[in-house]
Amino acid sequence: MTGITVLVVVAILAVATGFYLRSRSGTVRTVRNTDSETDALRPLLLDAGVTADTATVLHFSADWCGPCAAVRRVVEQVLNERSEAREVELDIDAHPDLARELGVLSLPTTFVLDIELRRRSRIAGVPTAAALRSALDAL
């Protein structure tokens, strides 16, 4: 009887965790940076092809990541409407140091960077076009 109870509790916790994680997927979160964090990230970002001349939508992906294709489509749609931002897509396997420094734990993960390379927003999962627009509007 105790084994069944433990199994039921574990199943309930797993389902609750799944619902919680799904509810956060695609949500834009504001990022608070310190100058020292921004300074430490700057060389890694520049080496990865991010430039400090315009706002940037930076997203990490991988060949094996199915939802990353959806992020590509959303980013392309939003940036086709705007000329003040550019897209940089990085393969997490090719840029593990930058991914580690940015705390990327899952794919897809997207960041909105201002022209000073400060992280302004972070989106785990596939953002909606409206969510990405609002993150860019906040710049």
Contact 106, 22 (CB under 8 A): no
Q: Tokens representing 108? A: 């897809």
Q: Tokens representing 7? A: 């199994």
Which of 85, 79, 78 lies closest to 51, judged by CA?
85
Residue 136 among the catalytic residues: no
Alpha-carbon distance of 121 to 100, in angstroms, equals: 17
Residue 40 among the catalytic residues: no
Per annotation, catalytic residue among 45, 68, 90, 124: 68
Using DSSP bridges, classify how beta strands 109-113 and 28-30 pair: parallel, antiparallel or unpaired.
unpaired
Per annotation, catalytic residue among 44, 48, 65, 115: 65
- Burial, 38: exposed, middle or buried (Cβ in 10 Å; 0-12, 13-18, 19+)? middle
Residue with tokens 């997207």: 110
Catalytic positions: 65, 68
